[in-house]
């Protein structure tokens, strides 16, 4: 049995009670339900609370800390040392100073794995510490190994062989009855597209609208629903809609909804569109596929890895490329591909798969 400690250095100052942080981080902790056969896990989090609890046979230890770059949580480190772990699984690549001190605290044979969550290499002196920390890190986990390229090119990661592909999170969403979901939401169109994200430049909703406008020329009955939490580009989006009668008639700006309600929206839609420029993983994409929603997304590394052959890719920032992808998507049997998308999620994108992949990396590092 491998003793693993899942460690988050980031101090969640907004949380006072353990249940709050566990609810907030449930998508990244869901793998724990599937590790019992090979891993004994202890979860270490930082918030405004200090306690230890046993939940579903998993030990959770909570400590107070600070978010300063050079802050060392000595109490946390000494606690970890007493646990005598085989592997420490650190969330995030932006804690090099802490990793250096951790390495000097724990046993020499303990392995350190770090999970990428979309961070980019630092600049200046902080980058120097990242390079030093690399000497202490035995493995890096990326949703797609291509996401490691900036780290390797900046010579922060010196050995490409230390990079492994493991999803950073999954979802508890399940596919629901499409007709019932559409009735609940008041959706009557036969072909439904859904966009979920922030109205921000990196999510590129304007490219989505321009590509969808081209698609509507031959598919006037289609509808696009846009769910968004932040509205930086709302004025630009509205201006684009006002200039186009076809978009105005076919696009619905839903706005902000509760996260749990997304399961209904994803299940009601036929296709999920994302024009993101960069994603560590793509939580909304994973949630969409769990609900059988067919992806039409940019060909960025994480999306290519997640989608596999069960969706359609287009060039980032290119409305014409999106139009081509939408046209291709319209030619397939939606019901059949939707079922294949769900099956792909269950076999490759689930919490069980994450647990198996983490166990595989641990066994390789420990040579067992």
Asked if 272 and 293 count as a contact pair (C-beta separation under 8 A), the reply is yes
**Residues 6+ positions from 37 with CB-CB distance below 8 Å:** none
226 bridge partner residues:
195, 253
Q: What is the pLDDT of residue 57?
A: 85
Q: Please state the separation of Cα 36 from the chain's center in Å.
A: 24
Q: What is the pLDDT of residue 121?
A: 97
Q: What is the pLDDT of residue 214?
A: 97
Q: What is the pLDDT of residue 230?
A: 85
The tokens for 367 are: 């040579």
Q: What is the pLDDT of residue 229?
A: 87
Instruction: State how far the Cα of 221 lies from the Cα of 56, in Å rounded to an integer.
Output: 49
Instruction: State how far the Cα of 23 lies from the Cα of 138, in Å rounded to an integer.
Output: 30
The tokens for 265 are: 């929206």
Q: For the chain, which residues make up each domain, given as ranges? A: 2-169+351-366, 178-345
Instruction: State how far the Cα of 220 lies from the Cα of 206, in Å rounded to an integer.
Output: 19
60 bridge partner residues:
43, 53
- In DSSP notation, 164-182 reads EE--S---------HHHHH
Q: What is the pLDDT of residue 56?
A: 85
For domain 178-345, give the CATH number.
3.40.50.2000
Q: What is the pLDDT of residue 14?
A: 95
Q: What is the pLDDT of residue 209?
A: 98
pLDDT tens across the length of the chain (368 residues):
999 999 999 999 999 999 999 999 999 999 999 997 889 999 999 999 999 999 888 999 999 999 999 999 999 999 999 999 999 999 999 999 999 999 999 999 999 999 999 999 999 999 999 999 999 999 999 999 999 999 999 999 999 999 999 999 999 999 999 999 999 999 999 999 999 999 999 999 999 999 999 999 999 899 999 999 888 999 999 999 999 999 999 999 999 999 999 999 999 999 999 999 999 889 999 999 999 999 999 999 999 999 999 999 999 999 999 999 999 999 999 999 999 999 999 999 999 999 999 999 999 999 98
Residue from 105, 63, 67 nearest 84 by CA: 105
- In DSSP notation, 107-127 reads -TT-EEEEE--S-----HHHH
Q: Is the pTM higher than 0.75?
A: yes
Instruction: State how far the Cα of 213 lies from the Cα of 239, in Å rounded to an integer.
Output: 14
Residue from 289, 271, 261 nearest 223 by CA: 271
Could you give the maximum distance between any two Cα atoms of the chain, in Å?
66
Q: What is the pLDDT of residue 66?
A: 96
Q: What is the pLDDT of residue 281?
A: 87
Q: Is 309 helix (H, G, I), strand (E, B) or coil?
A: coil
Q: What is the pLDDT of residue 117?
A: 95
CATH topology of domain 2-169+351-366: Rossmann fold (3.40.50)
Q: Are strands 163-165 and 139-142 parallel, antiparallel or unpaired?
A: parallel
């Amino acid at each position: 049995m491998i003793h693993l400690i899942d460690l988050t250095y980031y101090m969640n100052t907004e949380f006072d009670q353990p249940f709050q942080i566990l609810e907030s981080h449930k998508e990244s902790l869901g793998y724990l339900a599937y590790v019992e056969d090979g891993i004994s896990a202890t979860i270490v989090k930082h918030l405004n609370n200090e306690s230890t609890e046993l939940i579903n046979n998993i030990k959770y230890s909570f400590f107070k800390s600070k978010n300063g770059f050079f802050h060392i949580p000595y109490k946390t480190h000494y606690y970890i040392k007493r646990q005598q772990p085989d592997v420490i699984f650190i969330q995030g690549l932006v804690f090099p100073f802490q990793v250096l001190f951790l390495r000097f605290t724990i046993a020499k044979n303990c392995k350190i794995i770090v999970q990428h969550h979309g961070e980019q290499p630092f600049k200046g002196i902080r980058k120097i510490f990242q390079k030093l920390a690399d000497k202490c890190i035995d493995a890096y986990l990326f949703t797609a190994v291509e996401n490691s390229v900036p780290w390797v090119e900046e010579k922060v990661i010196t050995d490409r062989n230390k990079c492994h592909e493991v999803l950073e999170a999954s979802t508890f969403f399940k596919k629901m009855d499409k007709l019932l979901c559409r009735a609940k939401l008041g959706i009557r169109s036969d072909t439904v597209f859904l966009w979920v994200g922030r109205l921000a430049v990196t999510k590129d909703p304007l490219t989505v609208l321009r590509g969808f406008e081209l698609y509507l020329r031959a598919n006037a009955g289609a509808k696009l629903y846009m769910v968004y939490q932040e509205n930086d580009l709302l004025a630009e989006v509205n201006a684009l809609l006002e200039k186009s009668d076809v978009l105005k008639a076919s696009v619905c700006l839903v706005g902000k909804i509760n996260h749990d309600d997304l399961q209904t929206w994803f299940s009601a839609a036929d296709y999920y569109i994302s024009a993101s420029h960069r994603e560590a993983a793509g939580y909304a994409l994973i949630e969409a596929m769990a609900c059988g929603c067919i992806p039409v997304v940019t060909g960025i590394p994480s999306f290519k890895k997640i989608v596999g052959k069960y969706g359609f890719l287009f060039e980032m920032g290119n409305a014409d490329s999106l139009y081509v992808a939408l046209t291709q998507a319209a030619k397939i049997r939606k019901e059949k591909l939707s079922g294949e998308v769900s099956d792909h999620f269950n076999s490759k994108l689930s919490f069980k798969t994450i647990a198996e992949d983490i166990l595989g990396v641990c066994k390789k590092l420990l040579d067992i």
